[in-house]
Chain A
Amino acid sequence: MPATEEYARNLRSLHVVSAASAFVLLGATLWMMQADYADEWRGIQKVATEAEAQKIDDDLLKLETKDFETEEARLKEAVEAGRNAVKAEQDKVDKAAAEVSHLEGQSQKLTRDVKFQNAKRDKTRADYDLKVRDEASREELSNYRKIFEGEQTKADNGALELQQLQAKLDEANKTLAALTKPRDEALAAKKKHETELDRLTKAKEIIAPDPKKPSEVGMAFKRWLMQLPIIEGFNGPVKVNQIWLPDLTVTLGMKEAARYDRCITCHVNIDKVQTGNVLDYPHDPHGISMKNADEYLHGKKVRSSDGTTVVKKKSRVREDGSIVGYNHPFSTHPNPDLYLTAASPHPMQKFGCTSCHEGQGSGTSFQNASHSPNSPDIAEKWHKDYGYSYNHFWEYPMFPERLREAACLKCHHNVVELGVNPKFGNSAPTVFKGYELIRQYGCFGCHEINGYAAGKPIGPDMRLEPQTPEEAERIAADPLAVAGTMRKVGPGLRHFAAKTTRGWTENWVEEPKRFRPETRMPQFFNLTNQSDKHAKELQPVEIAGIVEYLFSKSEKLTLEHWDAAYTPDAERGKLLFSQRGCAACHSHDDLVGGKADFGPNLTNAHQKIASIEWLYTWLREPTRHSARTRMPNLYLEPETVNGVTVNPAADIAAFLLVKRDDQGKALPDGDGKLVHDDVGPGRFKQLVQPGVYLGCTFAPTRERTGWRGQATDGPRGAKVASVMPGSPASRTFRVAAPAEEKGAKGTSADSLAAGDVIVRYKGIDVRDAAHLEELVSASPAGEEVTISISRQGANLEMHLTPDTPLHDLTRWYLSKVMTAAKVSAALKTKSYPETEAAAIKAASVKPDEIELINGEITDETMLRYIGRRSISRYGCYGCHDIPGFEKARPIGTGLFDWGRKDPTKLALEHIEEYLHHHGEADGSSTAQRAEKALLNGVNDNFDSVEERDRETAVGYFFDQLNHHGRAGFLWQKLRDPRSYDFKKIETKGYDERLRMPKFPFSESDIEAITTFVLGLVGEPPAVKYVYHPSVPAKARIEGEKLLAKFNCTGCHMVELPEITGVPEDLTPYKLEASDFPQALDLLLKVRPPRDARTTRKLPTGEDAIKFHAMLVQPINPDDDPEDQSAFYDLWEPITIGDKGDINKLLLPPNRIELKAKKLLSQTTGRGGAFSEWLVDASVKGTVGPKVERSVAREMAPPTLFEEGIKVQTPWLYAFLKSPDRLRYTTVLRMPHFNMSNDEAEKLANYFAAVDSASFPYQEIPQREPQYLETKEHEHPHYLRDAWEVITKAPPTGVCAGCHAVGGREFVAGNDPTKVTRGPNLDRVYSRLQPDWLQIWLYNPKWITPYTRMPQNFVGNKEMFPELFGGKGQLQAVAARDALMNYLQLLEKEGKATAAVAAQPAGAEGDK
């Protein structure tokens, strides 16, 4: 190549280009660094620091009060004065100081010498030890020991000297301190006063040092330096913060990885709380955020009126006086009692953030953290503000606010503690509601929620209990298996035929809410995927089949009948219905005000129940009809009192079956007497069964068919629109063309298809579709006919066998288990093929075809077969006990890990298209509703908060559905389960259609259930994170489950109303003359007073108190509003002063008046709605004679308040298993629940656990020989005398006046109406706890304010002077001891024989 001196390009311009490109590269590099440095979180941390500095400034300002300054000045002066005082004696001080200094010097030297000497000594000892090891000679050893001893002596001397010197030094110090005392004390006081100031100033110095202050210049420089790029990497103040959780792993692509939560990098203040768990940065949605921080921190430049520019900051105080709080990411986590703080159950350093919230913990930007908006309008806002978009790559996006409680289930497998918790209350209301709904509606009947994998707990467990004894045995034998505990939620149908008629049942099955609008039974038929013609033809067959199966399989039930001579009285039945507790679970429109939805509303029971004998039997013994029913046996035995026999069950049955009009109002006869409804379920007719049909739908025919020989002047024939698989229309055979004809006709499988026009049927010209259907229905079933069709202009002849839907459905189902030829043969010969029948007989779990193998196959057996098939298909046995389905498995998808279901596996089908045009109850479009919600959300255009919540929820779930999210799928599945079949039924077999029924859920119910199911992830964290309740907590949880299961709270109040307010007059308790000091001591020991003071205040500044009490007189709305008051009886000892201050004590039954305007809040208590209703009704006299409120309370089911310290758990267990009659004052008895031993045990333990009592056994020291010996020693014949105390006959005796005691029957006084009969005392020894009993004996009203049991042993009145020296207190103790040793004493002292004399009206009664 010849070299030339010329350059191709101008070198100068090349240099320029080169330089430019170098600058471009430099620019790109700098840009890269800037882009890398411009992380969101850096800005956030800087602003957060400024906000913190501002907050410190605010706090400092708060300190700058006048008081503070005055005090400061005063202290300053004091310091000055002190200094002066010291100065006055400066000589002495100097001298003392010099002395101290001198001694200090000596001391230091000596200390060092001693230390050195000790080292020397240690060495000589070690040398000696080495010689021992080397087995040196005795002399040598002795030498070495001598050396050691010499050194030891020196060391000892040194130590002694040091001690003496130290003493001198102390003395000198004391002298000096005494001299400088005035100054030192003043300084200390000043320092103390400035503690808070110092703390704040120091805190501020660190985060925001002021470079103008000389003292802070160094700090300011350091801070500035450490924030520079690159240098900041060396532990600068702005940095990524993270929580490392190696044990709380996150599953990434099937691999468990340690969790890194960097959320706190931006959420800097999330755990900042002050003492007393006061939030440092309370959340305020309109508070300081990244967007507006500048206005609050630096302010805006504003031109003021005089033309100067001033910087104006936005005020932190709003016009209404409220303080502007902090928005995300600056706010502190709410509820520090429960979250984040070290003392809470979920400390941040242990649990991190994403273990509950989900999201990508390692992400440090808004987008990477996978935040989830609560609704699409928020997403829109985030999109604008933060460039947010949905990141579908991260498998665990954060839970949106509405679903956040789902996370609790990961560790809280018992669920109940989230809803009912003594410390935290209902801390997760949504997920708890979801749990309750699933429990009530029995979702687990079809969708098993298995809480165990290989015996290890993985989540909430909701499974049906074992259905057969074999299954129970198998589970019991398997150490890894845990049996389910849930009962089927529907009534048992094993003896169903005795209860009602087929007509009623068919109507019910078709659409339950038609008969009972509030029923929990879901709807299986007439839903969106059964609105086509095919479904209309097949559905009645299925329903009739189900009913036929239930009735024909129903087992015989022996019915009870009342005495022939007895005439049931419906009027009395109505009264008994209320009195005997039916209304605790059932509503009845005749009962005003009583609402209970545990059982069904019974107003229209007369339309359902076919026989009063059945109802009578059911009431007498519910388990006879249904072994696992939760309906208890209410002991409705006939009773004869004063010659009058009352049979409550018969009366109630008569009442329930009274003739009523359509509105449920009773229709009495002419005399006003209630009469029996004779029609009963007879009014419901069975569904009309479809006749012979073709199984195709028709389209309107518009074109001319051009059929040979036909008039072509108008449309003729019926045009097929669709053909249902398995129907006669799908089984048409074309008459073979002559060329192929080989004797057999109709072999060409060319069935009727959409578009074909049927023009002739059996030789008759078809006018239109209606005409054709007429002709078909007139044909005999199963007979082959010839039809002519026109197909695309060609004319064909076909053979077709019209039949009934019943036969076709049978044929269709059978074709799934055997060949078509066999099916035809079986139906022709009316007998099931033998080999197949034998296989069925041998099978352990019988297939549904078992209905067809015995005897001839008739229409009836086919119907039963279809019934059984339908029950299997729809899973009726998930809720009901049905004969023949004992071994059947749940039909639905298991839900234990549904919350992690792969979204690509969700069968969304055409749901988007469906919701585009349908989806709402009124038929309108859900898509439009969601669209509107989005628009209204963006423009903040909702009418109310409720509307916002409701509509944005729809928006959220709809959006989720569009994103193929689980939450959206579930939401729509619960709203309209069959909508996923939209435009799918056309390409499915009839039996492949979706079958989940529609439940009567509200939108909020659906949200709750969705939350619960999404929380089922089947991914338990490491064991230490799973909530393992303590033994009492576990007992509470189990008990709560049972309270709900058996509706205990329907009758009993288990938590008293809690009232907060400022009572009018609070008179502290004073020990009265009648009370013993020992009694009070015991009371305070057993029921320690609760501190009733609160932090709440009235607007007037008065401090409110909080107490548990029963309302005795409600507010009278007719009173002058100023004077409106409610009265309460206090039920618990409370104190309104410091602990131990006996003068601030309030004891039951303190009656408290509370003015309406001074009442801050009150709860209704928990449970006992029926009891309260009954009390009110008794006071009003609507159920039985009018009575006083306290009497009414005694008649109602008792409040179970502090039951745990009252009764002995073993007794409670036995009582729950078999309740005996305790009280005679109540009309109703504790019923016998259908409870297992395990359940009774758990419930008994529950009550003890609630009151922190020991369980399951309590000590009864009064029975210990040691105790009795001591007593005997103090008082000879102790027990005999004690026995005397309790068995003394009236009038002198106290117990026997009201109680049967010592085996002596209770005898009423002269006026039976005025006598109330107390409980027998023979079970006290096993029932009551001694301490409780003792208090009860001392002063019953301390425990039950309304009780009529009097205070028998009083301090100011002598009783039984011959016993215990007449000392009441000793007698009370003796009475308790006697009662606790009752059986032994009865044996020893014998029956109390002295007759009980007629006595004056006595007041008594256990509570």
Chain B
Amino acid sequence: MNPHPDLTPEVIRGIGWLYLLLFAMNIFWTVRVYKRHEGVGSLAAWAMYTVMLFIVGATHITGGSGPAHFLIRMPTGFKSLVDAGAKPEIYFTLSIALFAAVVWFREQLVKPTVSWLILNGMVLFMTLSMTDYDFRQIVGKPDNVPIVSMLFIVAFFTWLYFKRAVDNDQRIAAGRPLFEQEDNEKVLVWPDLVYTEMICMVVLTAVLVAWGIVLQAPLEEPASASRTPNPSKAPWYFLGLQEMLVYYDPWMAGVVLPSMILVGLMALPYIDFNKKGNGYYTFNERKFSILTFMFGFLPLWIGLIILGTFLRGPNWNFFGIYEFWDVHKLEVLNNINLSEMVWVDRLHQPLPVAPADASALSKIGHILLRESVGLVLVALYLGALPMLMAMTIFRRFFMRMGFIRYMVFANLVLFMACLPIKMVLRWSLNLKYIVAIPEWFFNI
């Protein structure tokens, strides 16, 4: 058996079903366009597109030509381009850019046709990518199926939020009542809510059971301390945390930062002084809170889960989505600590080391001296920077919040920012740790 069958007839048939799914979706859309009388040109375009999808799908399923003659593939040029750009910095930059674009173009994006086109684009991208063996290997893994669906679910809810928020913002601007006020259709807990929830529960259970039968949980090798799987991955919902381990010491990435996330989430009600936006969707009235939360959730959490799932391969190296996960791929990891940058590179001196017979105090002194620059920087970051911000960009916040609330808030924001900051420092300066005291298991 060929270990890397490129396109077997089964795969082609599967892709055919995806096209048919897309076809079914677009029938609905074409009918909608027809009903709404959106113009003959638009209707014809949608109808042609839908018919084309059907033809392509049907050919895939019934076509007799072998995989060798299979033509509709993801173009090699595109794949090479994507793979060539497969670097964490590019990925992260792009995800920030996408995030910014979504926010910036929110009013355009929530237009039905635009949204529908984006959905079509996403499904088409998946379908075409499925023609690639390596993509199939990652996406098709039973473990990764929930993550693929998560992509769509997250996109949907983000869209839903922006749709409602944009609507309300426009209403506010036009002085019209809010959607939530206008559409004040209150329902009964029984039977409307409870009954619906119960049906959902039953249907969801049935879906989960069916899923469990169709996609069996993969049985992997017996656990062994001497031979761990490569790559060794955390459960999917923790992949964002695992990604932090690349940049931070386990102590920091595994204990401090997650704790801060939890503490931060708990502190939210006490920090938030903006009374607007209660009980209704809005963006313009809560820009700061929403952007902060979305930045933390979308690029920093969901983005890193996707990265950890699809882009981190053997040896925790970075792979393009169309790239073979070759264990032999090597990446240079020549990272240095800040103290080395200062002492060795700048001052051309060895790192301060206490003599072997030095007293304990002297040893501590040497270590602190060695890491002094990093310690000062961290102190400034967490101590002085909030002050500076209070005087400048967060002046209004500081006034409204008072000292303690502000300091808590500022520190939480700074902690969130420390991940992207460290990432940028790593990529630009090959910085390993700002403060590196392995003697005390203390690295930042």
Contact = CB atoms under 8 A, between A and B. Distances in A.
B1 A376 contact: yes
B198 interface: yes
Given A8-B188, A9-B196, A254-B226, A390 B209 contact: no
B229 to A, nearest CB: 9
A24 to B, nearest CB: 5
A140 to B, nearest CB: 75
A959 B191 contact: no
Given A21-B202, A254-B226, A393 B192 contact: no
Given A9-B196, A25-B202, A14 B191 contact: yes
B199 A17 contact: yes
Contacts of A393: 219-221
Contacts of A394: 221
B222 interface: yes
B223 interface: yes
B210 interface: yes
A932 interface: no
B212 A8 contact: no
Interface in B197-212: 198-199, 202-203, 205-207, 209-210, 212
Nearest to A3: B188
A904 B227 CA distance: 10
A354 to B, nearest CB: 14
A1347 to B, nearest CB: 65
Nearest to A904: B327
Contacts of B195: 14, 18
Contacts of B198: 18
B347 interface: no
Interface string A6-20: 011101001001100
B1 A959 contact: yes
A395 B3 contact: no
Interface string B211-231: 011000001111111110010
Contacts of A902: 227
Interface stretch (A29-37, A81-89, A803-811, A1014-1022): A29-37
Contact of B185 (A8, A24, A31, A962): A8
B187 interface: yes
Contact of A7 (B3, B191, B221, B226): B191
Interface in B1-38: 1-3
Contacts of B224: 252-254
Contacts of A380: 1
Nearest to A5: B188
Given A962-B3, A963-B3, A22 B202 contact: yes
Contacts of B230: 904
A115 to B, nearest CB: 61
Nearest to A27: B206
Contacts of A31: 209-210, 213
Contacts, number: 86
A406 B122 CA distance: 52
Contacts of A4: 186, 188
Interface in B37-54: none
Contact of B1 (A22, A25, A35, A379): A379
A838 interface: no
B1 A18 contact: no
**Size range of the chain B interface in the assembly:** 20 to 34
Contacts of A390: 1, 3
B188 A24 contact: no
B192 A29 contact: no
Interface residues of A, number: 39
A380 B3 CA distance: 11
Given A1-B186, A393-B221, A394-B221, A28 B209 contact: yes
Contacts of B205: 25, 28
A253 B227 contact: yes
Interface string A375-401: 010011001000001100111000000
Contacts of A379: 1
Given A7-B192, A18-B195, A393-B220, A253 B206 contact: no
Contacts of A2: 186
A144 to B, nearest CB: 71
Contacts of B222: 252-253, 395
B221 A395 contact: yes
Contacts of A27: 206
B188 A7 contact: yes
A1227 to B, nearest CB: 63
A904 B207 CA distance: 39
Interface in B219-254: 219-227, 230
Interface string A949-985: 0000000000100110000000000000000000000
A394 B219 CA distance: 9
A253 B225 contact: yes
A8 B209 contact: no
A383 B10 CA distance: 12
Contacts of B209: 25, 28-29, 31-32
A1374 B202 CA distance: 105
Nearest to B209: A28
B213 A8 contact: no
Nearest to A931: B2
B213 A32 contact: yes
Interface string A575-607: 000000000000000000000000000000000
B213 A35 contact: yes
Contact of B206 (A21, A383, A959): A21
B191 A11 contact: yes
3 closest A-B pairs (Cβ-Cβ)?
A253-B224, A252-B222, A8-B187
25 contacts: A4-B186, A7-B187, A7-B192, A8-B192, A11-B191, A14-B195, A18-B195, A18-B199, A18-B202, A21-B202, A21-B206, A25-B209, A29-B209, A31-B213, A32-B209, A35-B213, A253-B225, A368-B219, A390-B3, A393-B220, A393-B221, A904-B230, A904-B327, A959-B1, A962-B2
Interface of B: 1-3, 185-188, 191-192, 195-196, 198-199, 202-203, 205-207, 209-210, 212-213, 219-227, 230, 327
Given A18-B199, A393-B219, A393-B221, 16 more contacts: A7-B187, A7-B188, A25-B202, A25-B203, A25-B209, A27-B206, A28-B205, A28-B210, A35-B213, A252-B224, A254-B226, A383-B1, A390-B3, A395-B221, A395-B222, A962-B3
